[in-house]
Every structure is written in structure tokens, then in C-alpha cells.
Amino acid sequence: MTALVASRLIKELATVTTRRLPVAAATAVWEGAMVALSGAGAAAVAVPASASAALKVVGVAQGDANNLAGGAGALTVDAKVGTFLMNNSATDPVALGDIGSPVYAQDDNTVSKTGAPASGSPTQPQAGFLWNVDPSGGVWVRFL
């Protein structure tokens, strides 16, 4: 390689905050929902987060992706990482003292403290980490 003789566009992965993912067949992911991957390897597809330990939460939907009538991958959804306000679980809530701790997806817009409100072993996928508790009652979650 030779030294530059003119400017060039610098590529920096650290500033990328959005992942474009194929949506599962017969699935709708709504804007503001936590997005999770279902499946493994090249067959993984985006679904709304839910209380399934088999899922991997990857961000928050930045638009609607209504693939209810389509096959797997017919549509994509942009899942953004960052810090977003989510609902706090009514049955397994996080509190101020939990800042920095993992939080778990109870559904596509609610997080819980333990990921196992009834059974004692985790049944919910980790959503991210608690950033702060909002005076509104919601919680700020950091998605990676």
C-alpha cells in the first residue's frame, strides 16, 4: 500500500449502532420493540423479544417490519443498540440498586430483574444492562 495523496472516507465500526436483520416468517416486529434473534448460524432470524431463553436480544426496532404475510427474510428490521427506555416488570421489577446489572426480556418492551420470576432458573433472555431507573417508572436499558 502507498501513502494517501488525497482524502478518503474513514470507516469506523465503533460508530455503527444499527444492525439490519432478516425478519422471521409470519412475524411482525413493531417500532420500539426489543428485537431478538431466533435460530442459529445463517438460519437466525429477527423476532420480537419474549420470555424464551432460546432467544438472543440484539437491540431495539427502529421501524415497523410487518412480515406477517411473508417468508423468512422477505423483510428486514433495523435493530439499534444504545440506551433506551423500557417498561419495568410489575412482577419482577428492577430498582435503583440494580444499576449495572443484567436485565431480562419479559416481553418485547418490558424487562425484569432476574429473568426467572417464578421458577428460580432463568427463562428469559438477557436484554442488556440497567443504566438507570426513570422517575416515570420505566427503566433505561443499555443494549449492546
What pTM did the predictor assign?
Answer: 0.86
Full 3-state SS string of 8-27: CCCCCHHHCCEEEEEECCCE
Domain range list for the chain: 18-80, 82-143
Q: What pLDDT does residue 117 have?
A: 61
Q: What pLDDT does residue 75 have?
A: 97
Angle at 90 between CA 56 and CA 117, to 5 degrees: 55
Q: What is the pLDDT of residues 53-66, one digit of tens each?
A: 999 999 999 999 99
Q: What pLDDT does residue 115 have?
A: 87
Could you tell me if 48 and 16 are in contact, meaning their C-beta atoms sit under 8 angstroms apart? no
Q: Using pLDDT thresholds of 50, 70 and 90, give the confidence band for residue 123.
A: confident
